[in-house]
Amino acid sequence: MRYKCEIIYLFIIMMLITLALVQTVSAQQPYPMDMVKGALTSAYLPMQEERVTIKFWMKSELGKSLLTEIVTSKGQSITYTAEKIKECRNGTRLIFRGWYRDGELVTTKEAISINATSDAEYYAYYDVEYWIDVNLGYERVSEWIERGDEFRVEVPESKELSNNTKLIFQGWSGDFEGMDRFIKIKVYRPIKASAIWRRQYKVYIVSDPQAISEIVGGGWYDEGSEALIKVLEPVAFLNNGWTKAVVGEILADYELKKYEDLKFENVSEVSLDVLSPIFVVVRWRFYHRVLISSDYINSTIADDWVLDGRFAEYEVPKEYRWDNGTMIKFEKWVGDITSDLNPIKIQVRKPIRITVKWRVFYLVRYESAYPISTNLSNQSAWIERGSSIYFNASPTIRLLDEGVRVVFKGWRGALSQLSPYLMIEEVDQPLDLRAEWKKQYLLSIQAPDEAKIKDEIWMDSGASYEVYAPPIIPLSNDSRLTFIGWAGYDCSDP
């Protein structure tokens, strides 16, 4: 502040001296104006602003690089923020340690604020860390290790897991090599390695009910090998083939892989690919055949072998429609079991044969531009097979307005007849009927009696009618009638 005041004070003095000099010279002797202007320019030349350069660097064991370079006015306040963590490629990252100047710690905070009084360089120091990813097979070791630190890992010769799986150590792959189960290494780069194991799975065998023959094939197996399970398995059919006695049934459950059970019947031995632990159940059971037939949809609704004593549930559509105007509705089950429940649940203790009984309906539709009598509730209705329906289009002639009427022409569609009364005793097919009507208009022609063209006629809509009016009609008393035109309707001249 004191320095600035002195400069201002000196500047004011120089201005006063210059002005006095100019006035004295002007009074004594004329000088060129260029010389006066030069003196004034020298007196008013401003002071140059002083600038400084601040450089911010990033530095680690991997080297250094310039983050930014700031040129600013001397005394200016500057703030710069470094990244706390800098992610690099290939499993390497830098962790911010602090800001340093001339080897001395300035601050451990990422943000640094300084007063730029002179050129300076600041270094953001970073520690180097490497990503360690070691797959042990039964667990994974993944962590960041600082460069130069020691990393240790050890695996057992064999490892039995809780899921009926056992691992046999075979060596290392990746950044670790050899057969040594204990690894100790100083970290100077990212590490990715995996323990190589020979995997074994346990195959369990149980019998339900008590086995009647020896079962072999249980124990530990290498992954990808085959387990041979052997049983004696005679099969007999009873009740004319409707009951099946299976002494041996083998179910293989790959419990870890969540595969569906593999079911083997009528065999004395099975070979299983060992891809996970296997739980093998050998059972001896009785099965009964359940056959459900139908006249519609499918001839066979179900044909199942059901375990003795088990419940089986069956269901058919409550109704089913075809595009041809036919519909069926479930009525009941008949046969070894009679029931109107749908779905039906059955406990199977013997062979069962059932037939589905249906009610059949046909779609009956009719169209009429004018009201008719019928026992149908709507113009489109489902009618049960065997039902009686009627249609009556009487009266066949209906006056709509003065000079306008409609006349019934007949029934068309699935059935055709001219009579307005249509009776169907037993419906046995889909019906699409249409009552046809024609509209008629009353044509009245009025003219003098001498023209002899008076007439009244009902004409179909759209029909044409020609009438001739004589251009001249002589009368008896030396007079005549002359045709001058038609009135009352838009007619065309002949």
Q: Kindly report, residue by residue over 14-26, the tens digit of the pLDDT.
A: 555 444 443 433 3
Least confident of 1-10, 181-190, 285-294: 1-10
**Predicted confidence (pLDDT) per residue in 410-423, tens digit:** 999 999 999 999 99
27 sits in which H/E element: helix 2-28
The stretch 107-116 carries a mean pLDDT of 93
- Higher-pLDDT residue of 486 and 279 is 279
Q: Tokens at residue 46, please?
A: 């401003």
Domain identity same for 426 and 379: yes
The number of helices, as runs of H, and strands, as runs of E, in the chain is: 2, 37
* Candidate from 78-92, 188-202, 272-286, 301-315 with smallest mean pLDDT: 272-286
**391-412 tens-digit pLDDT:** 999 999 999 888 899 999 999 9
Q: How far apart are CA 228 and CA 273, in angstroms?
A: 9
pLDDT of residue 325: 93
pLDDT for the residue 340 = 94
* pLDDT band with cut points at 50, 70 and 90 for residue 337: very high
**Do residues 108 and 61 share a domain?**
yes
Residue 388 inside a domain? The answer is: yes
**pLDDT for the residue 47:** 56
What's the distance, CA 151 to chain centroid?
Answer: 46
Question: What average pLDDT does the segment 60-86 reach?
Answer: 93
Domain harbouring 91, CATH code: 3.10.20
Residue 245: pLDDT above 90? no
User: Which neighbouring-strand residues pair with 98?
Assistant: 125
Residues 26 and 92 in one domain: no
With respect to residue 172, please indicate whether it lies within any of the assigned structural domains: no
Instruction: Identify whether the C-beta of residue 52 lies closer than 8 Å to the C-beta of residue 117.
Output: yes
Question: Are residues 70 and 23 part of one domain?
Answer: no
pLDDT (0 to 100) of residue 238? 82
In a domain, 289, yes or no: no
- Say if residue 231's pLDDT is above 60: yes
Q: Cβ of 216: how many Cβ atoms within 10 Å? A: 11
293: which 2 tokens?
A: 């037939």
Q: Who contacts 97 (Cβ-Cβ below 8 Å, separation ≥6)? A: 108, 125, 126, 127
Residues 359-393: tens digit of each pLDDT: 999 999 999 999 999 999 999 999 999 999 999 99
At residue 492 the predicted structure's pLDDT band, cuts being 50, 70 and 90, is: low
Do 425 and 369 fall within a single domain?
A: yes
Same domain, 33 and 57: no
CA dihedral 259, 260, 263, 269 (to 10 degrees): 10
Residue 82 near residue 67 (C-beta atoms within 8 A): yes
Amino acid 14: pLDDT: 56
> CA-to-CA distance for 132 and 234, rounded, in angstroms?
59
* Token couple for 436: 């046809």
The confidence score (pLDDT) of residue 12 equals 56
State CA 373 to chain mean position distance.
53
Q: Place 445 in a pLDDT band, splitting at 50, 70 and 90.
A: confident
What is the DSSP code string of 406-452?
EEEEEEEESS-BSSSEEEESS--S-EEEEEEEEEEEEEEE---GGG-
Element (H, E) at 25: helix 2-28
User: What percent of the chain clears pLDDT 90, i.e. is strictly above it?
Assistant: 60
Q: How far apart are CA 350 and CA 309, in angstroms?
A: 9
Least confident of 27-31, 119-123, 159-163, 462-466: 27-31
Position 251 confidence tier, pLDDT thresholds 50, 70, 90: confident
Q: Are residues 372 and 413 in the same domain?
A: yes
Does residue 32 form part of some domain? yes
Our measurement of the distance from residue 385's CA atom to the centroid of its chain's CA atoms, rounded to an integer in Å, reads 45
Domain shared by 72 and 113, yes or no: yes
Instruction: Tell me the average pLDDT of the chain.
Output: 85
Read off the pLDDT of each residue in 292-305 and give the average, rounded to a whole number: 93
CA distances from 244 to 60, 204, 249, 303 (A): 80, 27, 12, 14
| pLDDT range class, residue 13, cuts 50, 70, 90 | low
> Residue 255: its pLDDT value, please?
66
Q: Which pLDDT value is given to residue 35?
A: 37
- From the CB of residue 339, how many other CB atoms can be counted at a distance below 10 Å? 12
240 phi and psi, to 5 degrees? Answer: 55, 35
Band of residue 104 on the pLDDT scale cut at 50, 70, 90: very high
> Domain for residue 61, yes or no?
yes
pTM for this one?
0.45
HSE-up (13 A, CA, CB side) for residue 199: 16
Q: How far apart are CA 370 and CA 255, in angstroms?
A: 73
Q: Are residues 121 and 58 in the same domain?
A: yes
Q: To 5 degrees, how large is the angle CA 294–CA 298–CA 300?
A: 65
Is residue 427 in a domain?
A: yes
Better-predicted residue by pLDDT, 478 or 156: 156
Mean pLDDT of 222-227: 93
Length of the chain: 494
Average pLDDT estimate for 269-285: 87
383 plus 406 within the same structural domain: yes
Residue 311 lies in a domain: no
Whether the pLDDT of residue 250 is over 70: the answer is yes
5: helix, strand or coil: helix
How many independent structural domains does the chain possess? Answer: 3
How far apart CA 283 and CA 77 sit, in angstroms, is 87
- Predicted confidence at residue 260, as pLDDT, reads 58
Q: Please indicate, yes or no, whether residues 56 and 39 belong to a single structural domain of this protein.
A: no
Q: Within 10 A of 218 (CB to CB), how many other CB atoms are there?
A: 15
The predicted pLDDT at position 387 comes to 94
Average pLDDT value for residue range 426-451: 89
**137 within some domain:** no
Q: Are residue 55 and residue 119 in the same domain, yes or no?
A: yes
Range of the domain at 423: 362-441
DSSP string, 163-212: TSEEEEEEEEEET--SS-SEEEEE-SS-EEEEEEEEEEEEEEEEEES--S
Q: What is the mean pLDDT of residues 208-218?
A: 77
Distance spanning both ends of the chain, measured CA to CA: 123
